[in-house]
Amino acid sequence: MTAVCVMVLGTTSGAGKSWLTTALCRHYARQGLKVAPFKAQNMSNNARVVAGVAGAQGEIGSAQYFQSLAAKADPDVRMNPLLLKPEADTRSQVVLMGEVHRALSDMPWRGRSETVWPHIAAALDALREENDVVVIEGAGSPAEINLHASDIVNMRVARHADARCLLVTDIDRGGAFAHLYGTWALLPEDERALIKGFVLNKFRGDASLLAPAPQMLQDLTGVPVVATLPMWWQHGLPEEDGVFDDKTRAAGAVQTTIAVIAWPRISNLDEFQPLKNVPGVRLVWARTPADCAGADWIVLPGSKSTAADLAWLRAQGLDQAVAHHAAQGRAVLGICGGLQVLGEALIDTHGIDGNAPGLGLLPLVTAFDAEKTVRRTTAAFGELGGAWQALSGVTAAGYEIHHGQTAQHPAMAAKGDIAREVMPGLAWQNAAGNVLGCYLHGLFENPAVLRALFGARVPTLDTVFDGLADFLEQHVEPGVLDALIHKD
């Protein structure tokens, strides 16, 4: 088989490409078709561990991981062959076909495209051979004319796959019709021909008031507006590129406030989305000590640059806020980089991340290894005490992505200050029981963990994906989705 390719382009980042791609994956999968997602290049520190090359495990962007689940497909590295994980404003770690590629990481940005394009094309071609439909997500805007010559993620992919493209814009920001027309106008004529429909996303108000603009736009371009999608605050998918700032939203009366430290190089923040769906939980992204005031939990999340984020934490005075919170016996959780920060020291002899003293809330030391640990993991908690006692005996599935290797601090162990290892090689707890550090990402995506901690039943991912497809089907013009996959 050779799949038909449907592609979602956007006028800007944040226009709605990722969730629309996810919704299309579930829509076509519900038609009984074999579906796979694809994004040639993603830039994100939100990554998942999936099936890699030759039986190995590798990394892809979280958005493509969720899209594969929506498509009812097994996620693998071909769905996101190139992943850029920012380490600084001008530097990223390059992950090619699931594995860190140091030579590409050191190569100038514009010089990478011809090197990586054969891998991208081969991955897409392989997915097309195995599926009926491949739903492709673009990146940013296809009309970045300064990048067009080295493009490997938008129109080069569209041309290679002869994709039927939808162009989506965020109408809530204003200027939506100019964005759509300007994007279309800046494309070469052969690429304009691939755009089959415009989508207005995040609309508030009476859609009839948009007239006559949609028809005027069609008269100018020949491309119809095929959907006007209302603003939807809680679709249930995690935000791919940034943290939410909805500090006051919670389902029902607030019973637990959780402050997640929003340090600059935060990674895998998507794993906290399930907490947003738990009734009575209020999630706060903390950037100042005031944001932590009154919190029941403080969570130190993953980090792509642990030592740098620890320095930022201290500069904001958040180290003192975390220490004060812990001294009061309140719950503190560190995940991956957050676990490393909670220890006594970061030791870097390979130039991976940096050396630094930790917060000293767990008697642990972390040494950074040249090789990265990347694997899916399922493990059970042992006996825990204090604030985390409810997790005792709970089995959790998740994933590990880290250079650091953490162990008991030998000098402190000699003095009798020992961290309780509550998940072998993965999690440790302090003697008082209120500070827990864990390498396992994805804890809160386990229903058993949520039930243990909150007694909560939250929507399953399948429920979320079906809701996305239902929403899309309700608001797209009749026949459009079927026409996109009709082979001419």
Task: List active site positions.
Answer: 336, 441
| Rounded CA separation 60/51 (Å) | 10
Two structure tokens written together for 381:
């908690």
Cα(294)–Cα(284) distance, integer angstroms: 11
Judging by DSSP bridges, how do beta strands 195-203 and 164-170 pair with one another? Answer: parallel
String of b and e for 227-256 (b: at least 16 CB within 10 Å)? Answer: bbbeeeeeebbbbbeeebeeeeebeeeeeb
> Which residues share a beta bridge with 49?
59
Residue 50, amino acid:
V
As a residue count, the chain comes to 488
SS3 410: helix
Please choose, from the candidates 24, 49, 16, the residue with its C-alpha nearest in 3D space to the C-alpha of residue 374.
49
Using CA atoms in the order 371, 372, 373, 376, what is the torsion angle rounded to 10 degrees? Answer: -140
Residue with tokens 């999608």, as numbered in its chain = 229
Q: Tokens for 212?
A: 């006559």
- SS3 state of residue 360: coil
Burial class (CB in 10 A: 0-12, 13-18, 19+), 260: buried
CB atoms < 10 A from the CB of 219, how many?
A: 9
Q: Which of 346, 350, 343, 342 is nearest to 307 (CA)?
A: 346
